[in-house]
Each structure stands twice: as structure tokens, then as C-alpha cells.
Amino acid sequence: MKTGRMGYLLGVFMLAGMLAGCVGGQKLSEQFDEEEVKAAAEEVIEILNDGDVDTLVEEKWNSTMRGMADKDMMEKDVLPIVEELGAFEGFDKEAVTGNKDKDTEQEFAVAIIIGKYEKRKAQFTISFDEDMKVGGFYIK
């Protein structure tokens, strides 16, 4: 049951990322600062680790993400997955790339961050729009 739920969630978040135009990678646009993107992605992960879904949904998500992953979904389906990882120990590897929505020409920054947890590692792929709001979120 948990594996099915996790697969469903990953699909939803991946869909949100695709809707935001964050499929594939390319050079980071000049409108983004790589260190700022890394810091913003780390902040999103830390907020999630703290279980503060209100802040994620209301302050960090863009309108596309709010439509795909609301507070109830985050509390019901995502927080249990994060809790299963065990205690957060720190960040491991980090990379930042760029992407552009083919239809709208909107630029995105995509951060890929490995988080170390007590039980295992998790890879977060978080895309940001030009307002530094999350437009895509994927965890595996």
C-alpha cells in the first residue's frame, strides 16, 4: 500500500514539474543565481522536514503547485514518507541546472539535492520560477 501511494505521489509531483516546463536540463538562465537556488531548495527541504506544510503551500509553492499539492495532500501523503526516512542528518550532493518551458518561454531553475537521513538518502528535485516559487517538486 505504501509503495503504491508513494508511486502515485511521485507521479503527481513529476506532473507538476512537467507542467512547469522542467523536463530535462540546460544551462542556468542569467536571471537565477546558483547559490540562491541551492539555498532556496535547502530551505524547502528543511521546511518539509519540520512538517510545516502551511509555509510550503502558502509561501513557497507557485499557483501550479498549490493546485497539484495542497496542504491536506502534503499532510496525508508526503509527510509520512519523509517521516519514514528517519532523522535528517544533512545535505550531501547538490546540482543546479536550468530549463525553459517550450510553450511560454518561461525560464526555470532546477535544483537536485541529496538529503541524508537516518535510514537512507533521498533525492529532491525542485524547480523554481523567476519569482523563486516552487513550480515542481519530486522526491525519490
Pairing of strands 107-117, 121-128: antiparallel
| Higher pLDDT, residue 4 or 20 | 4
Pairing of strands 88-100, 121-128: unpaired
- Residue 15 phi/psi, 5-degree rounding, is -60, -40
Query: For residue 88, what are the β-bridge partners?
Result: 117
Look at residue 55 in the predicted model and tell me its pLDDT: 95
- Looking at the chain, the whole-number percentage of residues with pLDDT higher than 70 is 82
Look at residue 33 in the predicted model and tell me its pLDDT: 95
Look at residue 37 in the predicted model and tell me its pLDDT: 97
Look at residue 99 in the predicted model and tell me its pLDDT: 87
| Higher pLDDT, residue 35 or 23 | 35
Look at residue 26 in the predicted model and tell me its pLDDT: 82
Instruction: Give the pLDDT confidence of 56-100 residue by residue, as tens digits.
Output: 999 999 998 998 888 999 999 889 999 999 999 999 999 999 988
C-alpha–C-alpha distance, residues 115 and 92, integer Å = 6
Evaluate if residue 121 carries a pLDDT over 60: yes
pTM attached to this predicted model:
0.81
Mean pLDDT, rounded, for 33-55: 96
Rounded mean pLDDT of the chain? Answer: 85
Domain that residue 109 falls in: 2-139
The CATH number that applies at residue 79 is 3.10.450.590
Number of domains in the chain: 1
Angle, vertex CA 44, rays to CA 78 and CA 4, nearest 5: 20
